[in-house]
């Protein structure tokens, strides 16, 4: 998937933040987007998913799923209502039983949802809320699936579950923003996109293992 000549200027700014940025997303594959705080990763994700509009016309993926860092959700409803909201819309159903959910989602997702089914969503921990939303939304297929720091609040056992779900769909194209090298080691094959100085450099796993730029060296040491 080629992103060509992407230019974006924040409102009220006099110069573009991204100027004629071009890069390739590996398709289908996991693309990890890395870079220092403030490099522009979230801004780039916002642009690819239509949350922000590029300053000049660019061809972008037609359908995207964007799980940004802070996911809004009604907190007084139960986990089963959250499942109905997300899966019900996707599958065109207004009511979903736990048994029906079992038939719609993958086993790793069911293992997380089942024990929480009757709990009030707002009473889950921050990490549990994030995990429930991520796993339910990952049951939906789109041309590009963008995850902004999906593992940030999640314990490593649940990260394993999350990555199991991601690996179960090798036909998908993911763009995953991360500051955690351990996320890369969950996958055999992937592409790394390093956003630095408003430019993207891409690496295969072998190239990334050899790369020795200070940011990448520190990233790999985590």
Ligand X SMILES: Nc1ncnc2c1ncn2[C@@H]1O[C@H](COP(=O)(O)OP(=O)(O)OP(=O)(O)O)[C@@H](O)[C@H]1O
The DSSP annotation for 139-181 comes to: TS--SEEEEESTTTTS-HHHHHHHHHHHHT-TTS-EEEE-S-H
54 lies in the site for ligand X, by CB under 6 A? no
Measured between alpha carbons, how far is 118 from 78 in angstroms, rounded to an integer? 6
- Total interface residues for ligand X by CB under 6 A: 11
Vertex 96 angle, CA 85 and 147, to 5°: 40
117 lies in the site for ligand X, by CB under 6 A? no
Nearest-approach distance from CB 147 to ligand X, in angstroms: 13
Among 6, 8, 32, 42, binds ligand X (CB under 6 A): 42
37 lies in the site for ligand X, by CB under 6 A? yes
Nearer Cβ to ligand X, position 35 or 150? 35
Structure tokens at 131: 């995990």
Nearest-approach distance from CB 35 to ligand X, in angstroms: 5
Nearest-approach distance from CB 148 to ligand X, in angstroms: 8
Calculate the dihedral angle through the C-alpha atoms of 173, 176, 180, 186, rounding to the nearest 10 degrees.
-20
Among 7, 9, 29, 43, binds ligand X (CB under 6 A): 43
Contact residues toward ligand X (CB under 6 A) are: 10, 13, 17, 35, 37-43
């Amino acid at each position: 998937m080629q992103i060509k000549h992407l230019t974006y200027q924040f409102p009220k700014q006099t110069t573009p933040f991204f100027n004629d940025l071009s890069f390739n997303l590996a398709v289908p594959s996991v693309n990890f987007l890395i870079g220092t705080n403030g490099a522009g990763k979230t801004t780039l994700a916002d642009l690819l998913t239509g949350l922000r509009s590029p300053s000049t016309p660019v061809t972008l993926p037609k359908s995207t799923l964007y799980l940004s860092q802070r996911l809004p959700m009604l907190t007084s409803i139960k986990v089963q209502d959250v499942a109905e909201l997300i899966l019900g819309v996707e599958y065109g159903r207004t009511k979903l039983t736990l048994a029906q959910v079992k038939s719609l989602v993958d086993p790793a997702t069911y293992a997380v949802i089942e024990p929480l089914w009757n709990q009030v969503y707002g009473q889950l921990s921050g990490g549990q809320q994030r995990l429930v939303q991520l796993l339910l939304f990952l049951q939906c297929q789109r041309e590009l699936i963008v995850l902004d720091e999906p593992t940030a609040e999640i314990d490593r056992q649940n990260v394993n579950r999350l990555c199991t779900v991601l690996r179960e769909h090798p036909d998908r194209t993911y763009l995953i923003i991360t500051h955690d090298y351990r996320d890369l080691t969950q996958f055999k094959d992937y592409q790394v996109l390093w956003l630095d100085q408003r430019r993207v450099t891409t690496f295969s796993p072998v190239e990334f293992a050899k790369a020795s730029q200070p940011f990448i060296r520190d990233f790999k040491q985590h």
